[in-house]
């Protein structure tokens, strides 16, 4: 008989067409998101991680700028994403259509530090936040500061990826 973890892992490999989730990433997400009431994901990308989270947590809120690449503050990241994602037409629509199949996902086209996005959540209401949006040191720091008060005292902050040229190496 398959465990929930096995089923989720099979689902990850079935749908993951792009992204950088590894088995170790999956185990961390499973450990710190399983059974949580509210999980916030900053940086939706293709929605694959969001899809996984929807099987193990009660409610997922995910935020991304999608094709609005001019909202990226860091010039190197903006250039990278323009080279790799700008040609993707109707990107938000595709991801929204994919994720809309799951009733426990709320998807927002928004910058992760947008005041209105953050205000959707009450203070101390988030169980786990997965920060995977702006991969620069300053971007991650801004996300952490912007969302800090929204996470429960017993809540978890998870961070993914780092920018190699950063002197801070997250």
Contacts of 126 (CB under 8 A, 6+ apart): 38, 39, 40, 147, 150, 151, 152, 155
pLDDT (0 to 100) of residue 54: 95
- Predicted TM-score of the model (pTM): 0.85
- At residue 13 the predicted structure's pLDDT band, cuts being 50, 70 and 90, is low
- At residue 132 the predicted structure's pLDDT band, cuts being 50, 70 and 90, is very high
What is the SS3 assignment for 51?
Answer: helix
Rounded mean pLDDT, 119-139: 94
pLDDT in tens, 43-79: 998 898 999 899 999 999 999 998 888 888 888 888 8
77 closest CA partner among 29, 142, 13: 142
Q: For residues 41 and 49, what is the distance between their CA atoms, to the nearest angstrom?
A: 9
96 closest CA partner among 87, 109, 113, 82: 109
What is the SS3 assignment for 163?
Answer: coil
Q: For residues 148 and 152, what is the distance between their CA atoms, to the nearest angstrom?
A: 9
Q: For residues 85 and 2, what is the distance between their CA atoms, to the nearest angstrom?
A: 36
Q: For residues 162 and 24, what is the distance between their CA atoms, to the nearest angstrom?
A: 16
pLDDT (0 to 100) of residue 170: 45
Q: For residues 25 and 12, what is the distance between their CA atoms, to the nearest angstrom?
A: 11
- At residue 14 the predicted structure's pLDDT band, cuts being 50, 70 and 90, is low
- Considering the chain, what percentage of its residues have pLDDT values greater than 90? 52
pLDDT (0 to 100) of residue 17: 45
Q: Which domains does the chain have, with CATH numbers?
A: 4-159 (3.40.50.150)
Give kind and range of the element (H or E) at residue 81: helix 75-85
Q: Write down the residue that tokens 């999980």 correspond to.
A: 39
> Whole-number mean pLDDT of the chain?
86
């Amino acid at each position: 008989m398959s465990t929930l973890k096995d089923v989720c892992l099979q689902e990850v490999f079935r749908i993951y067409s792009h992204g950088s989730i590894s088995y170790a990433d999956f185990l961390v997400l499973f450990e710190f998101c399983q059974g949580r009431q509210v999980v916030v994901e900053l940086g939706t990308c293709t929605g694959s991680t969001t899809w996984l989270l929807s099987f193990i947590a009660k409610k997922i809120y995910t935020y991304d700028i999608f094709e609005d690449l001019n909202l990226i503050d860091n010039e190197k990241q903006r250039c990278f994403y323009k080279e790799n994602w700008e040609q993707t037409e109707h990107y938000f629509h595709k991801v929204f259509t994919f994720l809309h199949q799951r009733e426990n996902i709320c998807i927002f086209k928004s910058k992760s530090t947008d005041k209105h996005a953050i205000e959707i959540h009450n203070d101390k209401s988030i169980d786990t936040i997965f920060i995977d949006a702006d991969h620069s040191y300053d971007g991650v720091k801004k996300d952490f500061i912007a969302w800090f008060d929204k996470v429960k005292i017993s809540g978890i902050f998870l961070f993914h990826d780092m920018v190699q040229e950063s002197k801070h190496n997250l």
